[in-house]
Amino acid sequence: MADFLSQYSIQRWLEMCPQGYLEDTVYGHSPELKEPVILVGNETLREESIRTTVQLVVGERCALAASSGLVNAAPDFPSKRFLATQTLDEARHVEIFTRRLFDLGVKEDDLESTLDEFANPNLVKFAEVLLEKVEAGDFIAGVVGQNIVLEGMAFSVFEMLEAVSREANPKFAETLTGTIADERRHVGFGENRIGSLIREHPERKADVEKMQAEMTYHMLATFADSFRGNAAVVEETRAVAAAEGFGPETAEWHGTDLAAASPEEMEAILADTVLGEFKTRLGRIGLEYQSPPVPA
């Protein structure tokens, strides 16, 4: 364990992150890049971008509260040290996505009301399930909830958004690329550190799996709201973008062309990808994926 945890030192984090892939960026992107004019100027496109970005801020605020809250619950210094780097990473993500809301025209004074207006209620419940475990000082459940479930979801969502934005919005795509690199590190820690703790405490499996099923339920409900439940808006946004000549001709992700896929198809590919990752990662730490009831 000691060798694996030594890979998560702050020295290494400094070299990889601020002195590595984030070098020469400002709020996560090259200084010269801006939000596309069409995105800020067209009300339909702008509102959809705000809606999407609000979900990212809500998720990252949850991750910041969870990672900082888990520092004190961590059983050893190397784990505390890793969680300190994750705390800073999550704070950075909150900062860059909040900054994007400002770039999209949200006023500082309207930030909280905008978050309240657009935050998906199921995503808020998803966060509450995790933060309840963190608040109780439950390190094992907290790390599984945060570094496997939340980060696993965020990882795929960011990848999907990056694929769609790569051509049309390089600023947002660059911002996402840095966060994806961070999330990869976080997921790796969760898998490596928790595997040994689950082996030491097999009696915790049922409780942790129950939490995973509950979080998964709210995650799938969030996806359903965002695609099927929002299909008319998604289609309208796509039509407006096409009329303005904005957006990629194709955006391939996991074998699906996101530029042409229906909202139902997009939801299906995202859910399948995330659940596939969950099964693999949970299996690696000795847990069995639990299917939640399908959201209505």
Partner 1 sequence: MSEFDPHALAEEDFLEEVRSVDFWFQAVDGYLRDRSYGRVDGTPEPVMEAGERDNLITTLCNYCVGETAALEASSGLVVIAPNRHAKIFLATQVLDEARHLEVFIRRLSDLGVEDPEHEIELRANPNLVRFKDRLLEFVADRDWDAAVFAQNVILETMEYTVFRAHLQDADPVTAQVLDGVVKDERRHLGFGENDLGRRLVAMPEKRERLAEVRAELDELVLVTFEEVQDSVGVERSARADLGGEYLAAVERLGLT
Binding-site ranges for partner 1 (CB under 8 A): 9-11, 14, 18-19, 22, 26-27, 64-65, 68-69, 71-72, 77, 80-81, 83-85, 87-88, 90-92, 94-95, 98, 108, 111
**Residue labelled with tokens 């390190």:** 139
- CB 13 → partner 1: shortest distance, Å? 8
- CB 56 → partner 1: shortest distance, Å? 15
- CB 204 → partner 1: shortest distance, Å? 23
* C-beta closer to partner 1: residue 9 or 262: 9
* C-beta closer to partner 1: residue 22 or 213: 22
DSSP per-residue string spanning 4-32: HHHTT-HHHHHHHIIIIITTT-BTTB-TT
* C-beta closer to partner 1: residue 27 or 246: 27
CA atoms of 292 and 273, how far apart (whole Å): 16
Give the angle subtended at the CA of 64 by the CAs of 234 and 219, to the nearest 5°.
40
* C-beta closer to partner 1: residue 78 or 247: 78
* C-beta closer to partner 1: residue 95 or 167: 95
- CB 46 → partner 1: shortest distance, Å? 22
- CB 295 → partner 1: shortest distance, Å? 29
What own/partner pairs with CB < 8 Å and gap ≥ 24 does 275-278 have?
A: 275/216, 277/152, 277/155, 277/156, 278/148, 278/149, 278/152, 278/212, 278/216
Q: Collapsing DSSP states into helix, strand and coil, what is residue 253?
A: strand
